């Protein structure tokens, strides 16, 4: 009986350790040429989107990807391996997880086509508040440190914010 109790206790300890470890892994470090940006992921708002982002981060999918679309006083968009705005990962698209969370400066949202369930790998960081996006796109995170580095991402020249010789994500990693 004592041995069974010890096994149950050890299993619980391992399980609870994994719970705390997963809570700690809801922070990303986005390395840009200007500095490191800390991002808090929001699985409470968008668990499927956070899981997809984490899976892609673990695959190093975002390392070297460009910010292909950057619009002054609006947002900076990345996550397209082709750099054209029409590419995506090999993972399946994700169903929308719209919430009441507002699109404020520093909010991370998932880009999508006209269909609400078409988000895949592209995301954007708000450079300013964008209430017109509320309830239309999925919020999955927020910048907690380093927004001054996001502000230094090269902007696009007219035409939908497409960027010539765009800045890149150097690395995107889960924080330890």
* The pLDDT value given to residue 18: 43
Structure tokens at 4: 């069974």
Q: Going from the first residue of the chain to its last (176 residues), give the mean pLDDT of each consecutive group of 10, the final group possibly shorter.
A: 38 40 76 98 98 98 98 97 96 98 98 96 98 98 98 91 96 96
pLDDT at 11: 36
What six digits make up the tokens of 86?
A: 């029409």
User: Looking at the whole model, is its pTM more than 0.95?
Assistant: no
Tell me the domains of the chain and their CATH numbers: 27-174 (2.40.100.10)
pLDDT at position 157, please? 87
Determine the pLDDT at residue 159.
72
């Amino acid at each position: 009986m004592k041995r069974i109790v010890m096994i149950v206790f050890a299993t619980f300890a391992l399980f609870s350790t994994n719970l705390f470890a997963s809570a700690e892994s809801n922070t990303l470090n986005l390395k840009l040429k200007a500095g490191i940006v800390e991002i808090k992921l929001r699985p409470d708002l968008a668990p499927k989107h956070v899981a997809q982002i984490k899976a892609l981060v673990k695959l190093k999918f975002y390392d070297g990807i460009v910010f292909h679309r950057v619009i002054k006083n609006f947002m900076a968009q990345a996550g397209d391996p082709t750099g054209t705005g029409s590419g995506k990962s090999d993972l399946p698209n994700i169903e929308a997880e719209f919430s009441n969370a507002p699109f404020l400066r520093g909010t991370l949202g998932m880009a999508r086509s006209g269909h609400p369930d078409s988000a895949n790998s592209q995301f954007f960081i708000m450079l300013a508040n964008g209430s017109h996006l509320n309830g239309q796109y999925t919020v999955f995170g927020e910048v907690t440190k380093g927004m001054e580095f996001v502000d230094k991402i090269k902007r696009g020249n007219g035409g939908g914010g497409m960027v010539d010789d765009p800045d890149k994500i150097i690395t995107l990693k889960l924080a330890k």
